[in-house]
Structure 1
Amino acid sequence: MAKTPWPKGSKCVGRLQFKASLECHLPFNEGEMLTIINATEDPQWYIAKNNNGRQGAVPTNHIQKLVKSESQLNLMPWFHGKITRVEAESLLSPPEKGLFLVRESNNYPGDYTLCLSTDNMVEHYHIIYRDGKLTIDGEQYFDNLIQLVEHYKTNADGLCTSLVKPKLEQKTVDVQEEFLRGGWVKDRQDLQLQKTIGQGEFGEVMLAYYQGNEVAVKCLKNNTTAQAFIAEASVMMKLRHENLVQLLGVIAEEDGTLYIITEYMRNGTLVDYLRSRGRAVLTSVALTDFTLHVCEAMVYLESSNFVHRDLAARNILLSEDLVAKVSDFGLTKEVSSLQDTHKLPVKWTSPEALREKNFSTKSDVWSYGVLLWEIFSFGRMPYPKVKLKDVGTLLERGYQMPAPDGCPTEVYDVMTNCWHLDPDSRPTFQSLKQSLLQIKHKLRKQGTPL
């Protein structure tokens, strides 16, 4: 069956760099935006133009069609997060009828505020989050903020005016542009959802097929955490390593439904795998392999200046051939932006991060020590019998968990090195990798069962 040509005016992005070999060719770089002018007699070539207006022939195997226009990747560019009433009014100044933004409510945690400018003032409308729905007037309900905004764009419906012009939040606009230029925006028609396989921070995780390949899909439908959801994808987009779960694409539908498509990890979470197999199946060498897989990923994150902040066995996934890969980048941040005070996984978080929100690679090293303990205890909950509220106090006093039953002494020594109260005394991930390689070699030579 012949492939339908892309229509005139279609937007596309350079998937690979193309260096022109003929005068009629149009050279372009990876990520460069192009516009299709015409198809050619040869289905492997189009006539396109770049943003400077230069035209020429481009090969189809070097470009990727942008599925929808930029406005269709709706990342809520009008959502400004936690800003104050005064800050919102400043952003909407000078007053312009129909200019609007949405912010988190300061007076009602979990709710939102629609800030809408008239000719001479700004009105603030309380958006109530109730039973999984959003409403302003208690009569009209919406699944998410995107649906609410689209409704009031077409009808004032009790507001002082309809929504005309969004006040854009620049960070969101930049992320949106980055997704489009990178070719990450995919076509919903190519995605076939199959069944739910888990629950994530943002909603259900489903097994699906994308263009005939098995994938995992995080689905956001009936809640309003789109910004955090897309922030995770924006982190994954920047990272590429064999021991990190790979992002394959993002889909945004007009009704606000968002999907993050990732590679499918057939053997599920490491913590579930450890608990279901146990000592009868897993040797100390096999366990050490898992620790090394994760360590490889963390060496990469360390070198890329990223801090994960949620390293735990529940966030490690296993492929069909039992390669461990780090996932769940919802808390991952570049080192330059680590002032966030998001709720923390207490039993995996270092004392300085609990106390001062001071995150670094060294706080990830602390978490890695807890992960080692999880692995060699076959998935037990860390700090057993210790109440959550008491963990921080115990850590500040220098408490360290005892070694799991049967854990090799050398492995426990690595754990305790990760748990130095002084972050500077903790090892780097590169040195941890070398230590674990030596331990694995010794265990293999001894043929030591756990």
Structure 2
Amino acid sequence: MISIIFMFLFFGYTCGNFLNNTLQYAECLSHCYDQYCPEICNGTTHQGPAMFEAELHCRDTDLLSLHHSDGIFIIQQSTSNITWSKPRVVQGIMSIFSGLKPGQFYRYRVKRVENNSVSKPELTGWFQTIKNDEKPEGIREINVQDIVPISDDIHHLQAQVTFEPGQDLSCYYDVLNWSEKQGLSIGHVNATQYFKFQLNKLDYYCNNTITILATNKGTKEKSNNVSMIIKTPSCLESHKSLIICAPNKVSGLRVKKLQQFDDNIKFQVSWDKPKFLPDNYTVLIEPFDHSKKQITINLSGNLTEFFYYLDEIGLPHVISIVAESHGGISQPISIMNTIKFEKRKQTIINDILIILSSFGMVILAGVIYIYYKNKKTTIKNQYNYCSNINDKVNLAEIYEKSKIIESDIKMEIDPLLSKDEFEIHPVQLRIGKILGSGVSGIVRLGSLEVNNNDWIQVAVKMLQDGPSEDDVKNFKQEILIMKSAGIHRNIVSMIGCCTTSIKPMLIVEYCSQGDLQTYLRNIWNNLLNDANNRKIQIENIKLCHEKNSDIISSMSLGSEQTVAISNQLYDLQQGMLNTKEEISASDLLSFAHQVAIGMEFLSMNRIVHRDLAARNVLVCSDKTVKISDFGLSRDVYQENIYRKQGNGKLPIKWMAIEALTHQIYTTKSDVWSYGILLWEIVTLGCSPYPDISTSIVLELLKEGYRMPRPQNCGIELYEIMRSCWNTRPRCRPTFTKLKQDMDKLLETVSQNDYLNLCNLQQERDDSITDSE
């Protein structure tokens, strides 16, 4: 009894020293409850109820987080009303209890410490932890509060994101953030305090897809995905300064014919006045087929129009414009102007004669046709757009549609495909030989009349006989994406379309040298022939190409699910077989450089290609290369992530890891494919991963395998390839960076051995051996 009284006096004196510090006072009392006689502490002055007002904030298998009123409290925990844990002191509005058992109920006894006194004890309700076998519920809502510039980083933004948890109130979450420029990143959120987090390093004018999943730490179970697209503002919207930011892309670009003279035409080009005036504009005017030197015009930033004269060249020309300021250069925008000359008086008589002659020829053709019709089998469902056929095309192949009625193939009226500047009247076209065909489409060589009797060669794409609803829908989508992509020197640009005829057509640029894969392989064949003429022993190389030919054959047959698909616009292999093309290391680097430029343009327009490969790059006569079949891709402005549907064949050996494992296609997966395309260029069209089955490519990539450096490839160029094959998408370079890297190699190609063609035969054989 004497010892108890002594302890009472001692702790009364000690705690009395903390009367001016409530928190220390509460700590002292907690020790009193914990180690000595509770009856002594119960003798402390009580002042009203505790007013704890606890609510469950979140929970896990071994954790409870409670939200309560603000203050300093002494808390004890229990799984029953009999035994209580050691007291602890908490301050604030949150209390977190860890080390708990799954699925167990807990309650708390609380006393508030305030004004040097302790309240009466208060019991909370029962709170249960998550069971081990319980799957978390998905969150209910995502909200973005603020998207603001980072104070010490003018190149990026940050955003505050809050979310509403599911009814089970999980504490832990995985956050996936996919952006067009940085790729995919994964983070983790501990929500024991707040259901919010901050996104940093966001790019300007970029879509970010935020996906949040609740997780169970005990069983590693995850909830269903809940996603939201966050569109960040542009740099100008954030900073409102052209000193920091590049101008926005010029909007409302239009061209108008003003006056026609004997030898030229006067045009007016105008655009919308921007909110922030740039320092200046730069305009490029160039014939569509690059037959003449481009015209460069520099204009003051306060102008919104200019006038120019153009000689009667009889070809469309492209007008491109960029805005410039101290903060940078805007994205380019282009418009195509088709020259239309008015008929002059002196040509009226000639026109009348031509009309009369044409009329006579039509009558004669009608007589012949009726005779032919009566004598031969009837040809049904003629297409009204075939006004002339060149190169002895098989007429039955074009005209005979006995199993199809017009209503089955005519494109329905679609408000998105209404008439616009791209619409071409069918009589302006002459359809020629087949350039290539696929499962649903066929491409023919054509001629397009752009002025009176002035014709340019084009490629005309149309649907195969009896197209399905999906074929028609995809063809519409292709036309829309081709329209939205605009015009660029290194993409196969759209010239026009016919959507009002019985069978729709897409008219695009014609590239006379065919696809890059065939182009390179024919050059390789020429090298082999030259070597044979010089009686060089190249049996090993022949063996390599025999293997490669087997791969090419399997690609053509398409007998397996996993072989690469060739969805190339067209293929001129027959026309290329007998050509002997001179090639240099500079030419090959130039091809790679041009593809990077074209892909940069597509990525800036939020278009993911999904099948970038040498077979989908076309070559012009002046060695300009153009990316094709991006119209088969998807605009990711709204979708951001394209997930392939169905069980279609995939170009396995050109695909990034994340595309193979999760069917996620982004600009960063296009960068991976660009690295494979570089390898194709270096090896003059050899198939990637030679002698490796497509069925094991993914496992090898997961284990870290990458194709070795071809011996004729310099280290610098190979490092660029390897950077494209980084496992983490956000660590791969952008196409802007790739363009810059290839530009640097081209500048010094004469001084450095980036690509050696002299010993390519032996080196190519060695590279195949290494890859085995």
TM above 0.5, one fold?
A: yes
Q: Does 1:311 align with 2:612?
A: yes
Amino acid at match of 1:341: K
Q: Which amino acid aligns with 1:258?
A: P
Q: In 2, distance between residues paired with 1:61 and 1:432?
A: 37
Structure 1: distance between partners of 2:740 and 2:438 = 33
**For residues 107-186 of structure 1, what are the structure 2 equivalents within 5 Å?**
142-143=403-404, 147-148=407-408, 173-177=414-418, 180-181=419-420, 183-186=421-424
Provide Cα deviations, 1:190-245, integer angstroms capped at 9, x if missing partner.
11112112224532211111101111111213042122122112111112211011
SS in 1 for 2:629: coil
1:379 equivalenced with 2:685 (yes/no): yes
Tell me which residue corresponds to 2:479.
233
1:339 aligns with 2:586: no
1:71-82 equivalences under 5 Å are none
In the aligned structure 1, how far is the partner of 2:596 from the partner of 2:439?
24
Q: Residue type of the partner of 1:276?
A: N
Residue type at the aligned position of 1:260: L
Match of 1:246 in 2: 493
Superposed counterparts of 1:296-445, under 5 Å: 296-335=597-636, 336-337=638-639, 338-342=641-645, 343=648, 344-445=650-751
Per-residue deviation at 1:412?
Answer: 1.1
The one-letter amino acid paired with 1:194 is: G
Show CA shifts across 1:10-49 (max 9, x none). Answer: xxxx974589xxxxxxxxx99xxxxxxxxxxxxxxxxxxx
CA drift of 1:374 comes to 0.7
Deviation at 1:362, TM superposition (A): 0.7
Q: Which amino acid aligns with 1:339?
A: Y
Q: CA deviation at 1:382?
A: 1.1
Change (3 A) 1:420 1:446: closer
SS at match of 2:602: helix
Q: What is the CA-CA distance between 1:446 and the residue it aligns to?
A: 3.9
Which of 459, 482, 491 pairs up with 1:216? Answer: 459
What amino acid does structure 2 have at the position aligned with 1:282? I
8 Å CA contact retained: 1:194, 1:206: yes
Write the distance in 1 (CA, Å) between the matches of 2:619 and 2:708: 27
CA root-mean-square deviation: 3.2
Secondary structure, in 3 states, of the residue corresponding to 2:748? helix
Task: Please report how far the alpha carbon of residue 283 of structure 1 lies from its aligned counterpart in structure 2 after TM superposition.
Answer: 2.2
Query: Which structure: greater strand fraction?
Result: 2
- Hey, what's the Cα distance between the residues in 1 that align with 2:339 and 2:442? 34
Q: Is the 8 A contact 2:614 2:680 kept in 1?
A: yes
Q: Does the Cα contact within 8 Å between 2:417 and 2:499 map onto a contact in 1?
A: no
The secondary structure found in structure 1 opposite 2:712 is: coil
Q: Is contact 1:200–1:218 with CA below 8 Å preserved after alignment?
A: no
Aligned residues: 302
Q: 1:316 to 1:363 in 2, by over 3 A?
A: same
Q: Which amino acid aligns with 2:632?
A: L
Q: Cα gap change, 1:62/1:378 in structure 2, threshold over 3 Å: closer, same or farther? A: closer
CA displacement at 1:429 relative to structure 2: 0.9
Tell me the SS of whatever aligns to 1:403: coil
Query: Does the aligned pair in 2 maintain the 1:248–1:261 contact within 8 Å?
Result: yes
Distance 1:148 1:435, change over 3 A: closer
- Judge conservation of contact 1:310–1:331 (CA < 8 Å) in 2: no
| Cross-structure match for 2:89 | none
| Structure 1 partner of 2:442 | 204
Unaligned runs of 5+ in 2: 1-252, 259-269, 272-337, 342-401, 450-454, 528-581, 758-772
Could you give the per-residue CA deviations for residues 154-195 of structure 1, whole angstroms, max 9, x where no partner exists? xxxxxxxxxxxx9x9xxx834213xx23x2221111111121
Query: CA shift at 1:299, angstroms?
Result: 1.2
2:461 match: secondary structure: strand
How far apart, CA to CA, are the structure 2 residues paired with 1:276 and 1:223?
Answer: 35
Q: 1:142 to 1:185 in 2, by over 3 A?
A: farther
Distance 1:246 1:330 in 2: 10
SS in 1 for 2:632: coil
**1:327 and 1:149 mapped to 2: Cα distance?**
25
Q: 1:383 to 1:416 in 2, by over 3 A?
A: same
CA distance in 2, matches of 1:149, 1:431: 45
Are the aligned partners of 1:198 and 1:206 in contact in 2 as well (CA < 8 Å)?
Answer: yes
Query: SS where residue 274 of structure 1 aligns?
Result: helix
Q: Structure 2: how far apart are the matches of 1:441 and 1:418? A: 21
Q: Secondary structure, in 3 states, of the residue corresponding to 1:298?
A: helix
Paired AA for residue 289 in structure 1 = S
User: Residues of 2 paired with 1:411 and 1:61: CA distance?
Assistant: 44
> What SS does the corresponding residue of 1:445 show, helix, strand or coil?
coil
SS for the counterpart of 2:630 is: coil
Equivalent residue, structure 1, for 2:513: 267
Larger radius of gyration: 2
**1:387–1:174 distance in 2 versus 1, CA, 3 Å:** farther
Deviation of 1:149 after TM superposition, in Å, equals: 8.6
| AA in 1 matched with 2:644 | T
Alignment identity in percent? 34
- Aligned 8 A contact 1:283 1:449 in 2: no
Corresponding residue number in structure 2 for 1:57? none
Report if aligned partners of 2:643, 2:665 keep a CA contact under 8 Å in 1.
no
Please name the residue that 2:430 is paired with.
Answer: 192
User: What are the ranges of 5 or more consecutive residues in structure 1 without an aligned counterpart?
Assistant: 1-13, 20-28, 31-59, 64-140, 151-165
Asked if the contact 2:490/2:626 (under 8 Å) is kept, the reply is: yes
> Structure 1 residue 390: deviation in Å?
1.7
Q: Which amino acid aligns with 1:370?
A: I
Q: Which amino acid aligns with 1:221?
A: Q
Superposed displacement of residue 62, structure 1: 9.3
Distance 1:421 1:446, change over 3 A: closer
Q: Distance in 2 between matches of 1:251 and 1:319?
A: 25
Deviation at 1:270, TM superposition (A): 0.3
Q: Aligned with 1:439: secondary structure?
A: helix
